[in-house]
């Protein structure tokens, strides 16, 4: 079988440094009017430094909760979250986030939107340097010449490109992507996958990508983590055995097809539909 598949996640040794992101045995329940709603039940995630972890799973299984844990926006009821060998207890400046909704600020130009995190993280950085850094990224994603436009003047794909620039402008250690390509049409989405791949080669972040698209997870991920239905636990982890500078064509090779097939079976298990044949 291609693509070295691990049935259960194994942590590579106990050295916390090796895995930049590590979640161990996270359990969490939201308090709702009709009693506690468990969303995480034994979540284990280990992402080595500089790699890209794609997380897939059924709708509403707690994937967004996972991003909040990594970002330090909430604490799990049980279990531990480690970043860079340090226990996560709250927000930290070394995180970048991008969402399905690009959430650009309409009253700022594209350039000023990208600069926003620098205003928080590096308030003393000279304006000239901020602009240079933002322009460097905007050029990389093909938005040079649009820096003084308002977000409302750009297409959905371009807005999402600007949102990606904003999420990495402060050189975060950890990049959290919560379905950033989910609302785009198929062709725009594939364009953005390639943009993401190129950004990854140029920037030093370690990424967690939440997605519903298995092809996306195989194209961008160094590993694909399959979560079970709610409450989520880590059901399956697959190492993606494709070259780092993979092209879209790589998705149409037999190894990729095999990986996609395995992932699809895992999703069916997660959805509790494993018994259904040939669906």
Partner 1 sequence: MLRKIATPVLAILIFLGLWELLVWANGWPNYKMASPSDLPPAFWKYKELFLLMGWQTLWRTVVGLLLAVIVGTLIGMIIGFSKLARDALYPLLVGFNAIPKATLVPVISLIFIGQHDFNTILMAFMISFFPIAVSVGIGLSTLEPEYRDILRALGASRFTIFRKIALPKTLPEFFGALKVSATLAFIGTNLVEIVSPHGRGLGALFKSGETNGDYPLMFAVLIALAVLGIVLYYAVIFLERTFAGWADREGH
Residue with tokens 């707690």: 62
Question: Rounded to 5 degrees, what are φ and ψ at 46?
Answer: -135, 120
Least spacing, CB of residue 164 vs partner 1, in Å: 12
Q: Which is nearer to partner 1, 169 or 214 (CB)?
A: 169
Residue 45 in contact with residue 232, Cβ under 8 Å?
A: no
Q: Which is nearer to partner 1, 101 or 194 (CB)?
A: 101
Least spacing, CB of residue 68 vs partner 1, in Å: 8
Q: Which is nearer to partner 1, 71 or 138 (CB)?
A: 71
Least spacing, CB of residue 169 vs partner 1, in Å: 11
Q: Which is nearer to partner 1, 174 or 263 (CB)?
A: 174
Q: Binding residues for partner 1, per CB under 8 A?
A: 71-73, 90-93, 95-97, 99, 101, 103, 105-107, 116-117, 119-121, 150, 152, 166-167, 170, 176
Least spacing, CB of residue 153 vs partner 1, in Å: 9
Task: Tell me how far apart the alpha carbons of residues 222 and 105 are, in angstroms, rounded to a whole number.
Answer: 32
Task: Tell me how far apart the alpha carbons of residues 80 and 88 are, in angstroms, rounded to a whole number.
Answer: 8
Q: Which is nearer to partner 1, 12 or 87 (CB)?
A: 87
Least spacing, CB of residue 72 vs partner 1, in Å: 7
Collapsing DSSP states into helix, strand and coil, what is residue 5? strand
**Omega before 220 within 30 of 0, i.e. cis:** no
174-178 and 206-210 beta bridge pairing:
parallel
Partners of 177 in the β-ladder: 98, 209
Collapsing DSSP states into helix, strand and coil, what is residue 197? helix
Q: Which is nearer to partner 1, 24 or 92 (CB)?
A: 92
Least spacing, CB of residue 270 vs partner 1, in Å: 26
Task: Tell me how far apart the alpha carbons of residues 267 and 239 are, in angstroms, rounded to a whole number.
Answer: 16
Partners of 43 in the β-ladder: 26
Q: Which two tokens stand for residue 111?
A: 């350039």
């Amino acid at each position: 079988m291609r693509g070295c598949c691990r049935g259960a996640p194994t942590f590579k040794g106990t050295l916390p440094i090796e895995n930049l992101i590590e979640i161990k045995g996270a359990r969490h329940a939201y308090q709702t009017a009709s009693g506690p709603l468990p969303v995480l039940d034994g979540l284990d995630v280990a992402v080595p430094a500089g790699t890209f972890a794609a997380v897939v799973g059924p709708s509403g299984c707690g994937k967004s909760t996972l991003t909040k844990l990594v970002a330090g926006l909430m604490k799990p009821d049980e279990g531990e979250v480690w970043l860079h060998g340090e226990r996560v207890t709250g927000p930290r400046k070394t995180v970048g986030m991008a969402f399905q909704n690009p959430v650009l600020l309409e009253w700022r130009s594209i350039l000023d939107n990208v600069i926003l995190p620098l205003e928080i993280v590096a308030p003393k950085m000279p304006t000239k340097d901020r602009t240079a850094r933002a322009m460097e990224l905007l050029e990389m994603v093909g938005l040079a010449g649009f820096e003084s436009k308002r977000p409302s003047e750009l297409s959905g794909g371009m807005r999402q490109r600007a949102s990606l620039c904003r999420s990495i402008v402060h050189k975060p250690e950890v990049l959290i992507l919560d379905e950033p390509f989910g609302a785009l049409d198929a062709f725009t989405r594939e364009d953005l996958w390639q943009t993401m791949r190129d950004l990854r080669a140029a920037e030093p972040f370690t990424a967690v990508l939440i997605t519903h698209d298995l092809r996306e997870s195989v194209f961008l991920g160094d590993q694909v983590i399959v979560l079970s239905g709610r409450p989520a636990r880590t059901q399956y982890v697959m190492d993606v055995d494709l070259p780092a500078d993979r092209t879209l064509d790589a998705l149409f090779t037999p190894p990729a097809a095999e990986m996609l097939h395995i992932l699809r079976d895992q999703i069916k298990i997660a959805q509790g539909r494993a018994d259904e044949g040939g669906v």
